[in-house]
Amino acid sequence: MDETGAAAANRQKELDFRSPPATQDTGQAAPATGWRQFAALTPHNPQNLPRIVVVIDDVGPNLAQAREAMALPPAVTLAILPYADYAAELAREARIKGHEILVHLPMQPANDADPGPQAMLADLPEAEFNRRLEWNLAQIADYVGVNNHMGSQLTQDPVAMQRVLGVLKERDLIFL
């Protein structure tokens, strides 16, 4: 086994491979869905020590910086901007390297900064709001959820956030 293979084998031994909870009907492990399906495995934590999550966001528009982020340890979560030219490819490559992925959802900021194309804006008609949300979520695959990009204004709007969170809840995804 080469050094890379040995390192991967050792990493697997260190991970906690607990099965999902058994279903009451069959006693078999329930299939992973939503965020659980793509959650990164975490090291075994028998003492139940506190954990932190490190998220690098704004990944995508600058390809060189995206590659640097993907070179970080797999425990680092990457939030990829869905409008980046290579968003789907970057997400796929990052998942292969063991990173958890978030859709870095462009949202309306409190200032005049441009959050990017297909941004979620509070004053959009509901149909356009929903279309943009679906577009953003469809640009990459295998993500555990969403975090906001510049969204200080939109996250203060209860109606807009109910729309976003409603879709995420239906899909069993997280919002960070």
Residue 121, SS3 per DSSP: coil
pLDDT tier, 34 (very low <50, low <70, confident <90, very high otherwise): confident
pTM: 0.78
Q: Give the number of domains in the chain.
A: 1
Q: Say which CATH number the domain at 52 has.
A: 3.20.20.370
Sheet with 174-175: strands ordered across: 55-59, 77-80, 101-106, 145-149, 174-175
CA distance 15 to 41: 6
Q: What is the pLDDT of residues 17-29, one digit of tens each?
A: 333 333 345 555 4
Residue 99, in any domain of the structure? yes
Residue 27, in any domain of the structure? no
For 46, the domain range is: 3-22+32-175
Q: What is the pLDDT of residues 94-127, one digit of tens each?
A: 999 999 999 999 999 999 999 999 999 999 999 9
